[in-house]
Structure 1
Amino acid sequence: MNNDIAEGKWKQIIGKAKTAWGELTDDELTKAEGRADKLAGLIQERYGKTREEAVREVNRFFDMYRD
């Protein structure tokens, strides 16, 4: 399953990601490049969540923006 968001679309929704995960910096979100695995890793590290919890959050978030 490919959860990656295209780079152009990621640039459009990065503000919404910032709202969802306010403790992540703009730089961190930019470096995630819309890749689910990178974003989940950042959430796991910053918020102290399990990998599974972080992946679920990212999947729910990405589901809102899939075409």
Structure 2
Amino acid sequence: MPHLLRFSRDIELRLERLSQRTGQSKSALIERCLAVGMHDLESQLLLEEAVSAPTVADKPALDQLLRESGLGA
């Protein structure tokens, strides 16, 4: 699925230089950059989610939930 991206002149120049030095297309370099960046971003977000998730001690016990709902003894 093609996308239209606009880069700053600095990024475009760096991308062009890297493409010429490596012989890889700019598209291939952009895809690689996004893949690495996505992996890092996913790892960071999943870690933040795990850190902020309530622990078992923070969750009410099942019998407490049943009592509060009127279903428990």
Give the structure-2-normalised TM-score: 0.32
Rg larger in structure: 2
Q: Which has the higher contact order (CA 8 A, sep 6+)?
A: 1
Give the structure-1-normalised TM-score: 0.34
